[in-house]
Amino acid sequence: MIGVGGSGSSLRAWIISIGSELLVGRVVNTNASWLARRLTFMGFTVDRIIVVPDVVSDIVEEVKRGLGRVRLIVSTGGLGPTHDDVTMEAMAVAIGKPLVLNREAELLLREFYSKKGLPLTRERLKMAYMPEGCRALRNPVGSAPGCAVTHNETILIMLPGVPEEMEAMFESEVTAILSPITPQVAIVECYSQIKGVPEASIAPLLRELSKRHLNAYIKSHPKGYILEKPVIEIRVLVAGSVGEEALSSAKQILEHIISEAVKLGGSSDVEVGCQTTG
């Protein structure tokens, strides 16, 4: 089983979210939950999500705490062209490297702006200045490139703050960087239907099971009514390093839910189906 394994896991990760808009509550940090879920399913144990303002000293403080302590630090935000985008500067300070013009990043920016018929101004070129040693990450959706750099056993990944850009860059660039160090993970999804029990009656059980099985995602979807009886679809998703274990765990959780639903007066006509990916 993978997932939240406590501090025993060697694949610990931190997520550092950079942006004052998060600290005044204007923006909900969906980037962090997206990344946390994605990293967990890749085999990492995320044990901190830290939100810091766009202030160099604050970013440096938190990154330094993580260096050497966790295998991976992913940051989001602060890569844009304006003066309050200070992530690259802060990362350079944190790892003790100079901020230099990254040629790959410059090429990516030239390509991006020439396609748009826009000049590569000084402000825009600022986005190509990165800590020395950075591998520039292409932004498939927007302008700002990301960076991947390793320092003392810790991989540092800097991603943009715009959710679509962050997600696209993660999928197209970051997964390949991380795959050599992550275990083969199988993801199993089992599903069935329950009839005759309202969703609210089964919700406490699902919550309890979710809390108990941290590597499982348990979801219910109301599917309408058959002969005035509510029908709920139940889906249980489990990630595991061993496919058979994940499969048996997902099945077991789902069968437990069904048996509890039967105790509550429900029934299940639909056989449990399962599929495995990854």
Question: Contact positions toward a second copy, by CB under 8 A?
Answer: 3-4, 6-7, 17, 20-30, 32-40, 46-53, 55, 58, 82, 84, 210-211, 214-215, 217
Amino acid at 78: G
Output the smallest distance, CB 10 to a second copy, in A.
16
Report the DSSP pairing between strands 12-18 and 45-52: parallel
3-state helix, strand, coil in the chain (%, to 5): 40, 30, 30
Residues 197 and 234: their CA atoms lie apart, in Å, by 12
Strand-pair category, 154-159 with 72-76: parallel
Least Cβ distance, residue 47 to a second copy (angstroms): 6
Q: Shortest gap between Cβ of 247 and a second copy (angstroms)?
A: 20
Shortest approach of a second copy to residue 41 CB, angstroms? 9
Q: Give 12 or 151: the residue with its C-beta nearer to a second copy.
A: 12
Residue whose token pair is 């202030």: 55
Measured from the CB atom, the residue of 36 and 270 that comes closer to a second copy is: 36
Residue closer to a second copy (CB basis): 14 or 102: 14
Residue listed under structure tokens 């750099």: 149
For a second copy, the closer of residues 210 and 276 by Cβ is 210
Which is nearer to a second copy, 37 or 221 (by Cβ)?
A: 37
What's the chain's length in residues? 278
Cα 174 to chain center, whole Å?
Answer: 11
CB of 133 to a second copy, least distance (A): 28
